[in-house]
Amino acid sequence: MAGCSAAIAAKREGARVLLVEKHNYPGGNATRAMVAPWQSYHACVANADGSMPRQVIGGIAQEFVDDLVGIGASTGHIVDPIGFAGSITPVDPDRLKLYLVDKLEREGVKLVLGVEASDEMFEQARQIVDASGDASATRALGAAHITPVDPQPMTWMFTMGGVDLQAVRQYQLEHPDQFVLHPAFDKLPAQHVAVSGFFELVKAATERGEWTLPRDRLLFFSTPNAHEVLINTTRIPADHHYPHQEGLRQIEELVRFMPQHVPGFANARLSRIADVIGQRESYRLEGNTRLRVSDITSGSRFGDAIARGCYPVDIHGASSSLLESAIVGGQGWYDIPLDALISSDHPKLLAAGRCISADREGFASARVLPIAMATGQAAGMVAAWRALGKKVDTSACLSHVSLV
């Protein structure tokens, strides 16, 4: 999604753009790994009256949502019922694939699918934006990069249909101590279900030997499709010798367990497994500066800000049920400096999305999709200006990308 945003932004600034995607369709984790709902476009606060926090991220990232709502592929922004992020934005990943190809064509972006970026492409490009998610272009160019230490675990997303969402929400209302909930949960519209919990159910199943996943909870969200939920509960260590086998084993366990034990799932059935395991953390650019955890927790401001982020630090334990988090300081958002997108040692390389320069904790906030799209748009604008010999105007960039 960062690459799509960058390509459209650069094209709109007058550059000739080639978007290279090694897989069969664009969208990265949002399509291949079915990462959803997108979170968060809004300030990382939970208003006591249940109202939507102030929107932080706009630009092309918001344009995508508007278009997807128009074709029934997204419900739009919803206050996060869990209260962890400011908002969540459910999206259908399969319809997203088709939309992106059409959108890029209408924008005049040349899209090449199913090929790796070549040395010839790198040589001919005046500017390169690495939005690969694992800094593959950065590493291919021999540029300085950050290698993750003790990376976060992976998750294999899947959906189940036939879920009684009303029964799930009713159970939450009757057993609030078993869930992480927004402080005004009972005031939120019932149009969407988000679950982080069933703690006692999972604990009891673990003691009986019916639950072997390294998680202390179920985590799932309803999708734009009726009676369907997207399940984000599997946890696969990044260094597992057989991650695919382990991921499928965990999915099978959940598909068997949930209809037997979870309220609302009596008639549920497996509907789709993501094409790939979702990888939370990988290689990233070594920039002129790093986005650091202190920038998130203090709500930092930078003179060269080109985008803003609004998601808490969210670190999943490498091989346990541990979750570490830290809130966003200030007003619930922070600046992302241009220097975190610019290579420290390669003159025509920028990064976007999960490739930007950040320490481990800073990355654990900036890795999410809305922020990735925001840095993608910013990187595309800056790359176009640099390629065309124009002045880089960070304030103009920020005004296009951010709403605050």
Which pLDDT tens digit goes with each residue over 264-303?
Answer: 999 999 999 999 999 999 999 999 999 999 999 999 999 9
Which pLDDT score, from 0 to 100, does residue 257 have? 98
Neighbouring residues of 242: CB distance < 8 A, sequence distance ≥ 6? none
DSSP 8-state code for residue 285: E
Which among 220, 245, 273 is the end of a domain?
A: 273
Domain holding 259, by residue range, is 158-273
User: Both 213 and 190 in a single domain?
Assistant: yes
Spatial distance between the Cα atoms of 315 and 331, rounded to a whole number of angstroms: 22
Asked whether residue 321 carries a pLDDT value surpassing 90, the answer given is no
Give the rounded percent of residues in the chain with a pLDDT score beyond 90. 93
The 10s digit of each residue's pLDDT in 94-130 is 999 999 999 999 999 999 999 999 999 999 999 999 9
Spatial distance between the Cα atoms of 155 and 238, rounded to a whole number of angstroms: 10
User: Both 238 and 298 in a single domain?
Assistant: no
Spatial distance between the Cα atoms of 98 and 208, rounded to a whole number of angstroms: 44
User: Both 171 and 212 in a single domain?
Assistant: yes
Beta bridge partners of 158: 231, 273
The better pLDDT of the pair 362, 201 is held by 201
Which pLDDT score, from 0 to 100, does residue 278 have? 94
Spatial distance between the Cα atoms of 108 and 126, rounded to a whole number of angstroms: 18
Spatial distance between the Cα atoms of 55 and 310, rounded to a whole number of angstroms: 9
Which pLDDT score, from 0 to 100, does residue 150 have? 85
User: Both 287 and 145 in a single domain?
Assistant: yes
User: Both 16 and 129 in a single domain?
Assistant: yes
Instruction: Identify the band that residue 133 occupies on the pLDDT scale cut at 50, 70 and 90.
Output: very high
Secondary-structure percent of the chain, ordered helix, strand, coil, rounded to 5: 35, 20, 45
Which among 239, 257, 273 is the end of a domain?
A: 273
Asked whether residue 44 carries a pLDDT value surpassing 90, the answer given is yes
Instruction: Identify the band that residue 337 occupies on the pLDDT scale cut at 50, 70 and 90.
Output: very high
User: Both 217 and 345 in a single domain?
Assistant: no
User: Both 170 and 267 in a single domain?
Assistant: yes
Q: How many domains does the chain have?
A: 2
Lowest mean pLDDT among 164-178, 201-215, 319-333, 340-354: 319-333
Tell me the backbone φ, ψ of residue 321, rounded to 5 degrees: -85, 5
Cβ neighbours around 114 below 10 Å, total: 10
Indicate the residue type of 98: L
User: Both 94 and 113 in a single domain?
Assistant: yes
Tokens of 39: 């979170």
* Mean pLDDT along residues 245-268: 98
User: Both 214 and 353 in a single domain?
Assistant: no
Residue 112 φ/ψ region, left for φ over 0, alpha for ψ in the -120 to 50 degree band, beta for the rest: beta
User: Both 121 and 162 in a single domain?
Assistant: no
Instruction: Identify the band that residue 318 occupies on the pLDDT scale cut at 50, 70 and 90.
Output: low
User: Both 44 and 111 in a single domain?
Assistant: yes
* Mean pLDDT along residues 81-86: 96
* C-alpha distance across the termini of the chain, in Å: 22
Nearest to 115 by CA among 17, 18, 259: 18
Contact 2, 28 (CB under 8 A): yes
